[in-house]
Amino acid sequence: MAAMTLVEDICPVPDIRRPDMDAAVESAQAAVGLPVGARVVAAMSGGVDSTVVAALLHKAGYDVVGVTLQLYDHGAALKKKGACCAGQDIHDARLAADAIGIPHYVLDYESRFRDAVIDQFADDYLRGRTPVPCIRCNQTVKFRDLLDVARDLGAEAMATGHYVRRALGPDGRPQMRKAIDPSRDQSYFLFATTPEQLDYLRFPLADLEKPQVRGVAAALGLNIAAKPDSQDICFVPSGDYRTLINRLRPEGAEPGEIVHRDGRVLGRHDGVTGYTIGQRRGLNVAVGEPLFVTKLEPETRRVVVGPREALLTAALTLGETNWLGDQPTIEDAARQGAAVLARVRSTRPPSPARMTLEDGIVGVAFDTGEEGVAPGQACALYDPADPDRLLGGGFITGTTAAA
């Protein structure tokens, strides 16, 4: 077993909170809800969150197997901290598994990740959409393919370091709920988790705040306690996503017009893939008032701009939907005009709305105009009577502007 080094010997971390270790272990055990000794696969990215999950479950007496995914060519990311599933992170996961004392496997999923996430990311920008690659990764590679691996390893559950709660409802079915720390809650990114997947998944960090998680890592002597959180898009370690898109889809760099929503041509751009709905900076046009990107028209290569009020959206339509609510299907809930709290970006609070169903297409109509709604983004739905409960959601396929 590798020697463990206390994080205080490496770098002091001011936001570490010393936890009650017994309480942390009991909380992890409650989150798993399986008899001690059961096999649990821990998805280990090399970061502090997933490492602490593996360590707590091992300390609780479970038969823990760590699995790390190699998702992309990590040569560039080796020189940048905080790029998940890159070379350094795989190395850190191996060291952590050795220090904890659990078996560890690294799976090469580069081709699957490229097909399901990277190519989809580039295609979405080419179509004038604003993708959320973290959701695609959870939806496909992690919560579909990796779950199959966990079952093949004989595990009764798979645990991850996501900040979200899994709880049993009155009917005995698992629900997905927000984590105790609202600043870390990741339920928006997990809207696509199916009932079958949720039945198998476990989230042991639901009752911990991030400084407490780092404190657990320090108390256990794990030298990743001070490791920075992942930043940017993991497969774009430079942060320059447009260079990647133009390399994969060079047609997205074709120039076109920047047009005011009233029809005036205000200037030129060098590719629609460089713009997103709601963008203000980098337009390089001036008309005496702040302008925002309100629409992208990739077919005509036009970027449409307008005042801030033009960003207000009255309604949206959803595709690739998922449902975790009490009604049998999301179409049933939409047909009933169910009241929901709709969250259109991870950085925005949910807004009151009602579900709609028109020609078989699920939609959401906001009680008041919602800003920053972009096709390609996710719309996560929560229960107004129980705002911590995630009901499901979908990817935004279209919008209707507010009057």
**Active site residues per annotation:** 137, 234
Q: For residue 205, which of 11, 35, 12, 47 has the smallest C-alpha distance?
A: 47
Contacts of residue 34, defined as CB under 8 A and 6 or more positions apart, other chains included, come to 40, 62, 156, 157
For tokens 């004989």, the residue is 154
Cα separation, 187 vs 168, whole angstroms: 16
Could you tell me the two tokens for 190? 């997990």
Cα separation, 89 vs 70, whole angstroms: 9
For tokens 């959206």, the residue is 313
Within 13 Å of residue 354, how many CA atoms lie on the same side as its CB? 8
Within 13 Å of residue 25, how many CA atoms lie on the same side as its CB? 12
Q: Do residues 220 and 101 touch, judged by C-beta distance below 8 A?
A: no
Distances (CA, A) of 355 to 285, 333, 337: 38, 7, 5
Cα separation, 167 vs 241, whole angstroms: 37
Dihedral sign of CA atoms 32, 36, 41, 44 in order: positive
Cα separation, 148 vs 135, whole angstroms: 18
Q: Do residues 216 and 19 touch, judged by C-beta distance below 8 A?
A: yes
Cα separation, 193 vs 213, whole angstroms: 24
At what angle are helices 241-248 and 119-126 packed, to 10 degrees? 90
Distances (CA, A) of 73 to 24, 84, 146, 229: 36, 12, 19, 20
Cα separation, 376 vs 379, whole angstroms: 9
Cα separation, 70 vs 266, whole angstroms: 45
